[in-house]
A and B are shown apart, each in its own frame.
Chain A
């Protein structure tokens, strides 16, 4: 996460993100002799019953290491300066993703993970364009940013639920574990948000903020487009 922010003010931030994402493509797993998954998935497949702390941890980890969610969150708070505004938007996003995550897992609505991740990439592009004022320039309208945040929160929630379904949770203790996972997602979101806000706090105080804000949003849009391309390619190749 910090590699994203270390070079963000420069034009290289887009490139750094590209490299990061390419590195992440190689991450997969599975397919060994007795088909035992490793890592978090392997752990989840080995346990049964209620494991609240473990699922809180996994939820938080998913959020903190989920660069797509972080990128969207970064876009959402980019031009928010007051704590009450940040709280409002982050709550809207949390409400959105919690709803669809819980419903998605509970009713086993598995959306193709490549497609939903491509939509999450689209949400990043949308937010970057919104920050740049593109919709006003192009169409003369400003879409309701609160509604958009909630709507994209729903999309991100389906991304989370699709991941959890892939994890193959035991039906034993599903609901408590799921609620713990959701709580973890919120904790992870707060942790990630705190880090972003601190770095942005320093950055906003410097006179270069408004000068680099444009470029940064363009870089963010670039990363969003790349996420879309990456996921759509995955959809057709895999």
Chain B
């Protein structure tokens, strides 16, 4: 402290000033906690201000993601067992019927149908209706290096998506997107497992996602 002088008393705040500052700070902190921090972190919004500011939505999304991650962690064992059922080299082994994960949300109606022979372009087509905030996952059982072509579109509003795969304790995200109406292309499996799409509706109304696939895969199934 060779380069600093002790402060003169006159330069320091008075005891009264300090006490007042402390009270203001405590009041400000309490107000911010209730109106801003609790809505944004836990979706707890006693005053309703958080909703107006859009912060309660942040808290809701965080809570939802945390709950889903917990379900994923709980369901991780079952999905790896499912993959283990597939004998080596047997790509098209019938897999167990997809078990809808125990979620609070009611699963939307699923329609899986074989494409008509007249239009051999796509092998499978699935139509999923998503309510606001709802997510859905469709996976293809694929062996390493297998390629599937796909095309999907969202009707009623854009969706967020994550093209990803998991299997044998590995997981990968190929591509993510926000607010996208449609996508198409080819998906090449990085390893043996389930590869596909996670869709999420962040609109305020229902959307319907139609996904069509073709190529080297065993089975299409809806996981979530």
- A residues whose Cβ falls under 8 Å from a Cβ of B: 31-40, 42-43, 45-49, 51, 53-54, 57, 61, 79, 81-82, 130-133, 136-137, 142, 168, 170, 172, 191, 194-195, 197-198, 201-202, 204-205, 209-210, 213-214
Contacts and interface: CB of A to CB of B under 8 A. Distances in A.
B176 A54 contact: no
B36 interface: yes
B3 interface: yes
Contacts of B7: 81, 204, 209
B9 to A, nearest CB: 8
A198 B66 CA distance: 37
Contacts of A53: 53-55
Contacts of B54: 51, 53-54
A206 to B, nearest CB: 10
Given A51-B54, A198-B25, A38 B1 contact: no
A47 B1 contact: no
Interface in B166-206: 166, 171-173, 176, 178-179, 198, 200, 202
A131 B76 contact: no
B75 interface: yes
B1 A195 contact: no
B160 interface: yes
Interface residues of B, number: 48
Q: Is the interface of A mostly helix, strand, loop or mixed?
A: helix
B178 A172 contact: yes
Interface in B23-60: 25, 28, 32, 36, 40, 53-55, 58
19 contacts: A31-B171, A34-B171, A36-B69, A36-B72, A36-B162, A43-B65, A45-B160, A46-B200, A46-B202, A53-B54, A57-B40, A81-B7, A132-B2, A133-B2, A133-B3, A191-B32, A204-B7, A205-B12, A209-B6
A46 B210 CA distance: 21
